[in-house]
Amino acid sequence: MQKGFNSDILYKGATYHVQTEDWGVDNPFFVSQVFFLGAVLRTIKIPYTKVLPRGTQSDVKSICVALETQHQSILDLLIAGELL
């Protein structure tokens, strides 16, 4: 199972690192962090209940899709200049 995603994004001449992790069903959150030069600029923590339909919170495929969707959403917000 995919536990997270990492991407480097160039925005306005600077490279930012975005990391999104699944904290697992015992701690049901997706957490994304935006880093610049090793420092955390933003942390976005979303509970499973906000992004997974009721009843799919232990479904591995649904969790993987939601994790990837959150990561891509954070990248899109960063590129659009809405996160910094």
Instruction: Answer yes or no: are the C-beta atoms of 67 and 2 closer than 8 Å.
Output: yes
Residue type (1 letter), 21: E
Rounded CA separation 56/72 (Å): 20
Percentage of the chain lying above the pLDDT 70 cut: 96
Local confidence band at 22 (pLDDT 50, 70, 90 cut-offs): very high
Does residue 1 have a pLDDT over 70?
A: no
Please tell me the pTM assigned to this model.
0.90
Mean pLDDT of the region 23-37: 95
Residue 5 has a pLDDT of 97
